[in-house]
Amino acid sequence: MHSTVIKPILAVYTGLFLLFLYGPLLVLAILSFQTGPEGGPQFPIIEWSTYWYQHLFGLTPPSRIAPLPIEESLVRSLVLAVATMIVSTVLGVSAAQAFRTRFRGSGVVFYLIVLGMMVPGVLVGLGMALVANTLGIDRHWWGTAFVLHVVYTFPFAFLVMLAIFNRFDQSMEEAAWSLGVSPARTFRKVTFPLIFPGVLSAMLFAFTLSYDEFSRTLFASGRDLTLPLAIYGTFSVEIHPNVFAFGVLTTLFSFALLGVYAVLMTLSVRRAKRVAIQEDA
Amino acid sequence: MTTTTATEGMPAAAARQRALRRTALWLLAPGVLWMVLFLVLPILMMVYVSFWTQTTFTIEPTLTVKSWVTFFTSETYLSSLWTTVRIWLTVLVATLLVGYPTALFVGLFVRNKTLQTVLLVLCVIPFWTSFLIRVLAWRPMLGKEGAINLILQGLGIIDTPIEALLFSELSVVIGMTQIYCVFMVGPIAFMLGRIDPNVIEAARDLGAGFGRIFRTIILPLSMPGVVVGAIFVSVMVLGEFATSAALSGRKVNLLGNIIVTQVGSLKWAFAAVVGVVLTVIMGAVVAALLRVVDLRKEL
């Protein structure tokens, strides 16, 4: 009875669950093809059109609906995400490398790092704004907001690398050391190529988390908006299907990113295999 | 011969250990410094500023408990505190109820590894859409002319559209449940996947029904997953303000929304008080959850 009655019920349930997860996004995608500028963000679809996509790129005649300020904010968000990705991956790899040696106080340091992903953005954002105000520092997306992004993404990179190092075969490094290769060179030539897939995952995590982050950015970024802040700004006013069209485009962008990640991952795995084959021969 | 190498090897090994430890320290220093400066310091600053004096547009570093008194005597703030706790508990229970059956199916009933991975990936894909877009997506779903009302009317279940769906506490709960339930599904499915099928097989051979197997084997073994999921969901829901801003039409004011409004009107000291209250609640919740299950022992 275990699998004859319960399993089909749970299977149907899981289908409904996925519908619950995807339903709103599907509706959003459909409504992004609403006609404009008079069509609103609701059913029925008056006429199918790509008006709102053109609206995003400023290709439509001016109307009462102001275009989303995406151009500059997109550049800011991308720069911020890349910078965050680089810094948090470097910090994450070196911290995880340090954790391979036993040292006193490692428990405290571990929790200190993990705290960064647990504390809600509103709180760190507020705290950072207060610190900046007190010290008389101007708040900018590339300054105060950037350091908070790293606080948020560094723990993810650290945990990914920790998991990688846990399954790491140390005998390779020891072989290099016993042949008299310096630790720095060993890391570059032996360790790094081995952990590269993990580094790639850490980078992906850091980039996407930073690209989408807004609760930290809200208080810490000053006047210039990042992309999520530009979207957040539409919350208080009447929304139009241009936000939906934008949602579809960012999702496609994310998938493209995921595709790049998959390609790089396959390439690095294939290279590792080829090296292994050469060694066997 | 062997003794000499051992005695010669000892100091060398110790020196190597020391060198390794020194390298570890240098590798760790930047990260730790970063966290202390940009995470610990801001939080401490928030606690400190909550005792500063608030004037109309500025704050002065004269210590006072005035902002704290204002918080605990004001109807608005206390009701917001209550709303936050109520929504947090509702969403926590909702994510558990909605997520558990899916986790049960993915973690325990699907034994095909490929299908398992596909299902988990399907759960994660929505996270590739911006969080704010996913929140906004509920507006055309729940509105008076929204998809759900249209479908229900089309099926003849209701005659007039349900207006309470959007811009109410219900819409906030629905939105948050959808956004956060995956954080419940993941950890639970992970724990369920580690249950040895032979244990369940043995219980069934001994004549236990599904109800009994679930109560005595599956549920206790999945508890660490439930706790981890609950920690994720709690921390995220307690720090929320965007979902309520987008879906409640300003009717639901969480503590997070209060912080945003106070900062907007430069009431930094009040904002800091709310922030400290939120931190204390969160710390208590996480500590209580960790008490239920000893995670280090289980994982």
ipTM score for this prediction:
0.86
> Sorting pLDDT into bands at 50, 70 and 90, what band is A280?
low
Report the topology of domain A70-233: MetI-like fold (1.10.3720)
Going by C-alpha positions, the residue among B61, B75, B34, B38 that lies closest to residue B272 is: B61
CA atoms within 13 A on the CB side of B153: 12
Considering only residues A173 and B78, tell me which one the structure prediction assigns the higher pLDDT: B78
Stretch B63-68: mean pLDDT: 90
Q: Are the Cβ atoms of B39 and A119 closer than 8 angstroms?
A: yes
CB pairs under 8 A between A and B: 242
Quick one: how far is CA B126 from the chain centroid?
Answer: 17
Q: What is the mean pLDDT of chain B?
A: 88
B20 contacts on A by Cβ (under 8 Å):
101
Going from the C-alpha of A158 to that of each of A87, A96, A191, B181, B249, the distances in angstroms are 12, 6, 16, 25, 39
Stretch A197-218: mean pLDDT: 90
Q: Does B79 touch chain A (CB under 8 A)?
A: no
Q: Does B40 touch chain A (CB under 8 A)?
A: yes
Q: Are the Cβ atoms of A244 and B136 closer than 8 angstroms?
A: yes
Report the topology of domain B66-298: MetI-like fold (1.10.3720)
Write down the pLDDT at residue B145. 81
Cβ neighbours for B191, distance < 8 A, ≥ 6 positions apart: B107, B221, B222, B223, B224, B225
Q: Are the Cβ atoms of B32 and A244 closer than 8 angstroms?
A: no
Tell me the pTM.
0.87
pLDDT tens, residue by residue, B97-111: 999 999 999 998 888
Write down the pLDDT at residue B298. 58
Stretch B2-20: mean pLDDT: 64
Residue A215, both tokens: 């609760």
Write down the pLDDT at residue B1. 40
- Cβ pair B244, B174 in contact under 8 A: no
Query: What gap in Å lies between CA B277 and CA B285, rounded to an integer?
Result: 12
Going by C-alpha positions, the residue among B23, B236, B31, B225 that lies closest to residue A110 is: B31
> Number of helices and strands (H, E) in chain B?
16, 2
Going from the C-alpha of A92 to that of each of A38, A86, A89, B116, B283, the distances in angstroms are 50, 10, 5, 30, 25
Greatest C-alpha distance within chain A = 74
Q: Does B279 touch chain A (CB under 8 A)?
A: yes
Write down the pLDDT at residue A70. 80
pLDDT at A3 over 70: no
For A33-83, the DSSP string reads T--SSS--SSSS-SS---HHHHHHTT-SPP-SSPPP-HHHHHHHHHHHHHH
Average the pLDDT over each of A72-86, A260-274, B68-82, B275-289 and give the range with the smallest value: A260-274
Going by C-alpha positions, the residue among A243, A198, A229 that lies closest to residue A53 is: A243
pLDDT at B5 over 50: no
The Cα of B121 is separated from the nearest Cα of chain A by a number of Å equal to 11
Considering only residues B241 and A270, tell me which one the structure prediction assigns the higher pLDDT: B241
Closest CB to A126: pick one of B25, B147, B272: B272
Q: B54 forms bridges with which residues in the sheet? A: B59
Amino acid at residue number B20: L
Q: Are the Cβ atoms of A128 and B246 closer than 8 angstroms?
A: no
